[in-house]
Structure 1
Amino acid sequence: MDNQFPEAEFFAPKVEAAWSALQHQYAGRISESEIDHLFACFVMGLTTPDYAEQEPTLHFELCRALVASKLPSERLETALHSVPEPTQPWVESARGIIEGKGVQMGNVLRQSAHNIEKTTGVDANSKPTERLGNNEEMYND
Protein backbone atom coordinates (compact mmCIF):
# COMPACT_ATOMS: atom_id res chain seq x y z
CA MET A 1 0.00 0.00 0.00
CA ASP A 2 0.95 3.62 -0.47
CA ASN A 3 3.12 4.92 2.40
CA GLN A 4 1.68 8.39 1.87
CA PHE A 5 -1.71 7.00 2.97
CA PRO A 6 -1.29 4.59 5.87
CA GLU A 7 -5.09 4.66 6.22
CA ALA A 8 -5.22 2.71 2.96
CA GLU A 9 -4.43 -0.39 5.05
CA PHE A 10 -7.76 0.10 6.83
CA PHE A 11 -9.62 -0.35 3.54
CA ALA A 12 -7.28 -2.91 1.95
CA PRO A 13 -9.27 -6.09 2.77
CA LYS A 14 -12.46 -4.67 1.24
CA VAL A 15 -10.57 -3.33 -1.78
CA GLU A 16 -9.00 -6.74 -2.37
CA ALA A 17 -12.36 -8.49 -2.04
CA ALA A 18 -14.05 -6.07 -4.43
CA TRP A 19 -11.32 -6.45 -7.05
CA SER A 20 -11.62 -10.23 -6.89
CA ALA A 21 -15.41 -10.10 -7.09
CA LEU A 22 -15.37 -7.75 -10.09
CA GLN A 23 -12.84 -9.96 -11.88
CA HIS A 24 -14.86 -13.09 -11.16
CA GLN A 25 -18.21 -11.54 -12.08
CA TYR A 26 -17.35 -9.47 -15.14
CA ALA A 27 -14.11 -10.69 -16.77
CA GLY A 28 -14.93 -11.72 -20.31
CA ARG A 29 -18.35 -10.04 -20.16
CA ILE A 30 -17.30 -6.39 -20.29
CA SER A 31 -14.13 -4.55 -21.23
CA GLU A 32 -11.10 -4.25 -18.98
CA SER A 33 -11.56 -0.47 -18.84
CA GLU A 34 -15.15 -0.94 -17.66
CA ILE A 35 -14.03 -3.27 -14.88
CA ASP A 36 -11.31 -0.80 -13.90
CA HIS A 37 -13.84 2.04 -13.76
CA LEU A 38 -16.35 -0.03 -11.75
CA PHE A 39 -13.54 -0.78 -9.32
CA ALA A 40 -12.73 2.94 -8.99
CA CYS A 41 -16.44 3.63 -8.36
CA PHE A 42 -16.50 1.02 -5.60
CA VAL A 43 -13.39 2.49 -3.96
CA MET A 44 -14.90 5.98 -4.06
CA GLY A 45 -18.02 4.67 -2.38
CA LEU A 46 -16.10 2.65 0.20
CA THR A 47 -14.10 5.67 1.35
CA THR A 48 -16.97 8.17 1.24
CA PRO A 49 -18.33 7.56 4.76
CA ASP A 50 -14.93 8.39 6.28
CA TYR A 51 -13.74 11.02 3.78
CA ALA A 52 -16.78 12.83 2.33
CA GLU A 53 -16.36 15.59 4.90
CA GLN A 54 -12.59 15.81 4.34
CA GLU A 55 -10.74 17.89 1.79
CA PRO A 56 -11.85 16.53 -1.64
CA THR A 57 -8.26 16.31 -2.83
CA LEU A 58 -7.35 14.12 0.15
CA HIS A 59 -10.31 11.82 -0.56
CA PHE A 60 -9.41 11.56 -4.24
CA GLU A 61 -5.73 10.88 -3.53
CA LEU A 62 -6.67 8.12 -1.08
CA CYS A 63 -8.88 6.61 -3.79
CA ARG A 64 -5.98 6.87 -6.23
CA ALA A 65 -3.71 5.01 -3.80
CA LEU A 66 -6.28 2.26 -3.26
CA VAL A 67 -7.03 1.82 -6.97
CA ALA A 68 -3.29 1.83 -7.68
CA SER A 69 -2.96 -1.20 -5.42
CA LYS A 70 -4.62 -3.26 -8.16
CA LEU A 71 -4.18 -1.38 -11.43
CA PRO A 72 -0.97 -0.71 -13.33
CA SER A 73 -0.14 2.95 -13.80
CA GLU A 74 -1.16 2.97 -17.47
CA ARG A 75 -4.74 2.03 -16.49
CA LEU A 76 -4.98 3.98 -13.24
CA GLU A 77 -5.62 7.48 -14.59
CA THR A 78 -8.11 6.23 -17.15
CA ALA A 79 -10.09 4.38 -14.46
CA LEU A 80 -10.20 7.49 -12.29
CA HIS A 81 -10.82 10.17 -14.91
CA SER A 82 -12.93 8.72 -17.68
CA VAL A 83 -16.11 6.75 -18.07
CA PRO A 84 -15.71 4.11 -20.76
CA GLU A 85 -18.35 3.62 -23.39
CA PRO A 86 -20.53 0.77 -22.13
CA THR A 87 -20.26 -2.49 -24.04
CA GLN A 88 -23.48 -3.76 -22.44
CA PRO A 89 -26.62 -1.73 -21.70
CA TRP A 90 -26.63 -2.67 -17.99
CA VAL A 91 -23.11 -1.41 -17.29
CA GLU A 92 -24.20 2.20 -16.86
CA SER A 93 -26.63 1.35 -14.06
CA ALA A 94 -24.07 -1.03 -12.52
CA ARG A 95 -21.80 1.94 -11.79
CA GLY A 96 -24.23 3.46 -9.33
CA ILE A 97 -25.07 0.11 -7.78
CA ILE A 98 -21.41 -0.79 -7.25
CA GLU A 99 -20.56 2.61 -5.81
CA GLY A 100 -23.59 2.24 -3.53
CA LYS A 101 -22.31 -1.17 -2.37
CA GLY A 102 -19.02 0.53 -1.55
CA VAL A 103 -20.84 3.16 0.53
CA GLN A 104 -22.73 0.38 2.34
CA MET A 105 -19.47 -1.42 3.17
CA GLY A 106 -17.88 1.84 4.26
CA ASN A 107 -20.81 2.47 6.57
CA VAL A 108 -20.48 -1.04 8.02
CA LEU A 109 -16.81 -0.35 8.74
CA ARG A 110 -17.79 2.92 10.35
CA GLN A 111 -20.53 1.24 12.41
CA SER A 112 -18.05 -1.41 13.51
CA ALA A 113 -15.82 1.42 14.66
CA HIS A 114 -18.71 2.83 16.73
CA ASN A 115 -19.20 -0.59 18.33
CA ILE A 116 -15.48 -0.81 19.06
CA GLU A 117 -15.59 2.65 20.58
CA LYS A 118 -18.20 1.45 23.08
CA THR A 119 -16.01 -1.43 24.24
CA THR A 120 -12.48 -0.07 23.85
CA GLY A 121 -12.73 3.70 23.98
CA VAL A 122 -11.26 4.12 20.46
CA ASP A 123 -13.04 7.11 18.92
CA ALA A 124 -15.21 6.00 15.98
CA ASN A 125 -14.79 9.43 14.43
CA SER A 126 -11.03 9.15 14.53
CA LYS A 127 -9.04 8.59 11.39
CA PRO A 128 -9.14 5.02 10.09
CA THR A 129 -5.47 4.58 10.94
CA GLU A 130 -6.15 5.38 14.58
CA ARG A 131 -8.98 2.83 14.65
CA LEU A 132 -6.90 0.27 12.78
CA GLY A 133 -4.00 0.44 15.20
CA ASN A 134 -5.87 -1.37 17.96
CA ASN A 135 -8.46 -3.31 16.01
CA GLU A 136 -7.12 -4.44 12.65
CA GLU A 137 -8.57 -7.94 12.95
CA MET A 138 -12.04 -6.35 12.97
CA TYR A 139 -11.59 -5.14 9.38
CA ASN A 140 -10.23 -8.28 7.78
CA ASP A 141 -12.52 -10.77 6.11
Structure 2
Amino acid sequence: MMKLKRLLVPILLGIMGSANAQVQTIFHCNTKNNKQIFLGFEPNTNTVTYAFGKDLNHPEMMLQRNIQQVRGESHYSSAEGATINVVDIPNGNALYSVQELYTQNTTEVGVEVTQKGKRITFVSCKNNKPNISNLESFASELSQ
Protein backbone atom coordinates (compact mmCIF):
# COMPACT_ATOMS: atom_id res chain seq x y z
CA MET A 1 0.00 0.00 0.00
CA MET A 2 2.82 2.41 0.76
CA LYS A 3 4.15 1.85 -2.76
CA LEU A 4 0.73 2.79 -4.14
CA LYS A 5 0.66 6.03 -2.11
CA ARG A 6 4.07 6.97 -3.46
CA LEU A 7 2.88 6.29 -6.99
CA LEU A 8 -0.28 8.36 -6.60
CA VAL A 9 1.39 11.48 -5.25
CA PRO A 10 3.38 12.26 -8.44
CA ILE A 11 0.36 11.46 -10.58
CA LEU A 12 -1.85 13.74 -8.55
CA LEU A 13 0.67 16.53 -8.36
CA GLY A 14 0.21 16.69 -12.11
CA ILE A 15 -3.57 16.65 -11.68
CA MET A 16 -3.49 19.35 -9.04
CA GLY A 17 -1.10 21.42 -11.15
CA SER A 18 1.45 22.35 -8.52
CA ALA A 19 4.73 20.81 -7.48
CA ASN A 20 4.08 22.25 -3.99
CA ALA A 21 0.69 20.58 -3.63
CA GLN A 22 0.32 18.28 -0.64
CA VAL A 23 -2.40 15.96 -1.87
CA GLN A 24 -3.89 13.68 0.76
CA THR A 25 -5.31 10.46 -0.63
CA ILE A 26 -8.79 10.03 0.79
CA PHE A 27 -9.81 7.07 -1.34
CA HIS A 28 -8.37 4.98 -4.15
CA CYS A 29 -9.42 1.71 -5.74
CA ASN A 30 -9.21 -0.24 -8.96
CA THR A 31 -12.39 -1.27 -10.74
CA LYS A 32 -13.18 -4.58 -12.41
CA ASN A 33 -12.41 -2.90 -15.78
CA ASN A 34 -8.90 -1.87 -14.65
CA LYS A 35 -9.87 1.76 -14.15
CA GLN A 36 -9.17 3.76 -11.02
CA ILE A 37 -11.37 5.77 -8.70
CA PHE A 38 -9.51 8.46 -6.78
CA LEU A 39 -10.56 11.03 -4.21
CA GLY A 40 -7.97 13.43 -2.83
CA PHE A 41 -7.76 16.60 -0.77
CA GLU A 42 -5.26 19.44 -1.02
CA PRO A 43 -5.48 21.36 2.29
CA ASN A 44 -3.52 24.44 1.16
CA THR A 45 -6.20 25.26 -1.42
CA ASN A 46 -9.13 23.41 0.25
CA THR A 47 -9.60 21.52 -3.01
CA VAL A 48 -11.22 18.10 -3.29
CA THR A 49 -10.34 16.18 -6.46
CA TYR A 50 -12.29 13.26 -7.88
CA ALA A 51 -10.64 11.42 -10.77
CA PHE A 52 -11.67 8.36 -12.75
CA GLY A 53 -9.94 6.44 -15.53
CA LYS A 54 -7.25 3.96 -16.48
CA ASP A 55 -4.49 6.56 -16.25
CA LEU A 56 -4.81 9.20 -13.54
CA ASN A 57 -2.31 11.37 -15.40
CA HIS A 58 -4.97 11.62 -18.12
CA PRO A 59 -8.25 10.74 -16.37
CA GLU A 60 -11.47 10.19 -18.30
CA MET A 61 -13.15 12.43 -15.75
CA MET A 62 -11.79 14.84 -13.20
CA LEU A 63 -13.74 17.13 -10.92
CA GLN A 64 -12.17 19.68 -8.60
CA ARG A 65 -14.34 21.39 -6.02
CA ASN A 66 -13.77 23.68 -3.09
CA ILE A 67 -14.36 21.76 0.11
CA GLN A 68 -17.39 23.98 0.82
CA GLN A 69 -19.14 22.41 -2.21
CA VAL A 70 -18.57 18.83 -1.04
CA ARG A 71 -20.75 16.93 1.45
CA GLY A 72 -19.86 13.98 3.61
CA GLU A 73 -21.60 11.53 5.87
CA SER A 74 -20.33 8.76 8.09
CA HIS A 75 -22.41 6.79 10.50
CA TYR A 76 -22.97 3.38 12.02
CA SER A 77 -26.39 1.97 12.90
CA SER A 78 -26.22 -0.85 15.41
CA ALA A 79 -29.94 -1.51 14.91
CA GLU A 80 -29.38 -2.16 11.20
CA GLY A 81 -25.83 -3.44 11.53
CA ALA A 82 -24.78 -1.00 8.83
CA THR A 83 -21.87 1.37 8.30
CA ILE A 84 -21.93 4.02 5.58
CA ASN A 85 -19.20 6.45 4.59
CA VAL A 86 -19.92 8.73 1.67
CA VAL A 87 -18.47 11.87 0.09
CA ASP A 88 -20.63 13.65 -2.50
CA ILE A 89 -19.07 15.70 -5.30
CA PRO A 90 -21.56 17.78 -7.31
CA ASN A 91 -21.29 18.33 -11.07
CA GLY A 92 -24.26 20.31 -12.40
CA ASN A 93 -27.35 18.07 -12.10
CA ALA A 94 -25.15 15.04 -11.42
CA LEU A 95 -23.73 13.85 -8.13
CA TYR A 96 -20.70 11.58 -7.78
CA SER A 97 -20.83 9.75 -4.45
CA VAL A 98 -17.69 7.91 -3.43
CA GLN A 99 -18.96 5.46 -0.87
CA GLU A 100 -18.46 2.48 1.35
CA LEU A 101 -21.57 0.64 2.53
CA TYR A 102 -21.21 -2.33 4.83
CA THR A 103 -24.19 -4.29 6.14
CA GLN A 104 -24.55 -7.85 7.40
CA ASN A 105 -25.53 -8.99 3.91
CA THR A 106 -24.13 -6.35 1.54
CA THR A 107 -20.88 -4.63 0.76
CA GLU A 108 -20.80 -1.83 -1.82
CA VAL A 109 -17.58 0.11 -2.34
CA GLY A 110 -17.15 2.44 -5.28
CA VAL A 111 -18.82 5.47 -6.83
CA GLU A 112 -22.52 6.01 -7.41
CA VAL A 113 -23.56 8.48 -10.09
CA THR A 114 -26.98 10.08 -9.81
CA GLN A 115 -28.63 12.69 -11.99
CA LYS A 116 -31.55 14.72 -10.69
CA GLY A 117 -31.77 12.23 -7.80
CA LYS A 118 -32.01 9.15 -10.06
CA ARG A 119 -29.28 6.51 -9.92
CA ILE A 120 -27.52 6.32 -13.28
CA THR A 121 -24.79 3.81 -12.42
CA PHE A 122 -22.66 2.35 -9.67
CA VAL A 123 -19.02 1.57 -10.46
CA SER A 124 -17.74 -1.01 -7.98
CA CYS A 125 -14.22 -1.38 -6.74
CA LYS A 126 -12.64 -4.72 -7.57
CA ASN A 127 -13.70 -7.23 -4.89
CA ASN A 128 -15.57 -4.35 -3.19
CA LYS A 129 -12.33 -3.30 -1.51
CA PRO A 130 -10.43 -0.01 -1.67
CA ASN A 131 -6.64 0.09 -1.95
CA ILE A 132 -6.59 3.16 0.30
CA SER A 133 -9.47 4.50 2.33
CA ASN A 134 -9.63 7.42 4.73
CA LEU A 135 -13.22 8.00 3.69
CA GLU A 136 -14.71 7.53 7.16
CA SER A 137 -12.63 10.22 8.86
CA PHE A 138 -12.88 12.64 5.91
CA ALA A 139 -16.67 12.20 5.63
CA SER A 140 -17.00 12.70 9.39
CA GLU A 141 -15.04 15.96 9.21
CA LEU A 142 -17.21 17.21 6.34
CA SER A 143 -20.46 16.48 8.19
CA GLN A 144 -19.47 18.57 11.23
- Answer yes or no: same fold by TM over 0.5: no
Specify the TM-score bucket, using the shorter chain as the normaliser. under 0.3
Higher helix share: 1
Higher strand share: 2
- Larger CA Rg, structure 1 vs 2: 1
Q: TM-score, normalised by structure 1?
A: 0.26
Q: TM-score, normalised by structure 2?
A: 0.26
Query: Which of 1 and 2 has higher RCO (CA within 8 Å, sep 6+)?
Result: 1
